[in-house]
Structure 1
């Protein structure tokens, strides 16, 4: 592909599966059912895995560079953008339902304790983002921080509802797939991933970064866009 078409930008989202993000989500859902907290046992596991995941992400970047060089590209001939992950759930204070309400699982699809949600949204997702940002800095790539890009539209977020209730209105709906054991929205593995609204928002972020000068940016919603996922804005990532 790189030999036959002019590649101008490569976007790379990697690291979450190596860290076991899906397993963490599943474990926390299991512990919610049995009224236990999962963050205390998962936090040290994440800390132990992060250096190894960072090394793997760095290796992927190096492999991409080597592949592009073999195809005749100098490093400055294209943009390589490392992107972080948006948080699929809000902090515990922003859930629609009380954590003891069984409908957190059977209706809303977010069976998580408030404290576990706090850890996931305010510690885990930022740690992953900071790790990716560190690799970008070490390897001289662009960086796109998405940790807050879909804020306010996470699964079970107060003030939103699931897609399918009242029509596809991104202003009112979640921008992620809920945790779904009935496969009503695709396979279970698609749960907690951005849905069509979320993908539109992230695509808008990438478009803005691609049009900007090389650098490291954070993408958030443009609140003057009235909830339109294509109305995003970027700023330099601090």
Structure 2
């Protein structure tokens, strides 16, 4: 009986030792069944925030474009040092890399052979970057240049202003806008999934980084002074301005939110971010606007290879707009979970509002 008790005690001690070992080895890997973030992303190199996407990310409209993306060798990606990614503030971040390209469709953001202004896949560029950088933040904005072709639609509205006898551009747009947005969603999903696969191949797990898919802000809206609804600033019909702000951008945002849900990305909605600060909304004082008015680079008209890009900056977030988006995004990243909408607070600056509040 005494021998049995001795062996029983030894067995209990052995079991305790095994349990302690398991806790030491694996206890730090989960809490309440959820994996904990590792101290930092895998690999070596500086912690780096990365942005991918189209003109709203590259900095189109924010000016001071890097020489190599301002027409050099046919590259018109228009990446600006004033773009919001350059203003990201995140613990430990030492570098910020903008891979976005003006006009980029989802296919060029994802993996594949698609090019935009001579540049290849942004996801593949990210694959090269993570070889010597650690990436805890990835922000993507893409989709408007897919089936919706939002910039082209705004151009059609611009043309409609010249043709008083023809229907407003929104008459045709609203017929199939929802179906175009629906067709866009799987393309955005693929691009985001490609970005995730690049990071997974580099050894990243979801807890290593924040992945944010953001939508688009309304560049123009109703209420523009009559004196500016022309070539002096914003040549659009009132009903077209109303449709863009009320239906066009909000429908686009709903589609992008669905893409974020399908890919597991956090969603930051910018649909109402520019309210009260759209192009031409400032009247005689454009300094309070966060978007460019109709912008013509006269110098570009003197060069054949640049002439077709003379209007490229029009109706995009300007440097002030990018600073506001950066402010909202920085606060959003600090929360580390959930979705939000960028809305102006009592201080007049953009802040992330929980979705239930935004509605």
- TM bucket (normalised to shorter chain) is 0.7 to 0.9
Aligned-residue CA RMSD (Å)? 2.0
> For this pair of structures, how many residues does the alignment match?
217
Matches of 2:340 and 2:320 in 1, distance apart?
A: 21
| Per-residue CA distance 1:152-175 (angstroms, 9 max, x = gap) | 110121566324xxxxxxxxx211
Match 1:17 to one of 145, 165, 172: 145
- Rg larger in 1 or in 2? 2
What does residue 115 of structure 1 align with?
A: 239
Q: Deviation of residue 3 (structure 1)?
A: 2.9
Indicate whether 1:174 and 2:289 are aligned.
yes
Matches of 1:29 and 1:46 in 2, distance apart?
A: 18
Matches of 2:174 and 2:144 in 1, distance apart?
A: 15
What does residue 169 of structure 2 align with?
A: 38
Matches of 2:310 and 2:276 in 1, distance apart?
A: 24
Match 2:191 to one of 60, 75, 79: 60
Match 2:313 to one of 174, 187, 190: 190
Q: Counterparts of 1:90-101 in structure 2 under 5 Å?
A: 90-91=221-222, 94-97=223-226
Q: Deviation of residue 51 (structure 1)?
A: 2.0
| Per-residue CA distance 1:191-217 (angstroms, 9 max, x = gap) | 111001001001111111111131101
Match 2:158 to one of 6, 9, 29: 29
Runs of 4+ aligned structure 1 residues displaced above 6 Å come to none
Matches of 2:236 and 2:208 in 1, distance apart?
A: 45
Residues 150 and 201 in structure 1, CA contact (< 8 A), matched pair in contact too: no
| Per-residue CA distance 1:95-116 (angstroms, 9 max, x = gap) | 111xxx5x52222x21111111
What does residue 355 of structure 2 align with?
A: 237
| TM-score normalised per structure 1 | 0.85
Matches of 1:212 and 1:160 in 2, distance apart?
A: 38
Match 1:85 to one of 216, 240, 254: 216
| TM-score normalised per structure 2 | 0.57
What does residue 105 of structure 1 align with?
A: 230
What is the SS of the residue equivalent to 1:129? Answer: helix
Matches of 2:231 and 2:243 in 1, distance apart?
A: 23
What is the SS of the residue equivalent to 2:342? Answer: strand
Q: Deviation of residue 187 (structure 1)?
A: 3.8
Q: Deviation of residue 222 (structure 1)?
A: 1.8
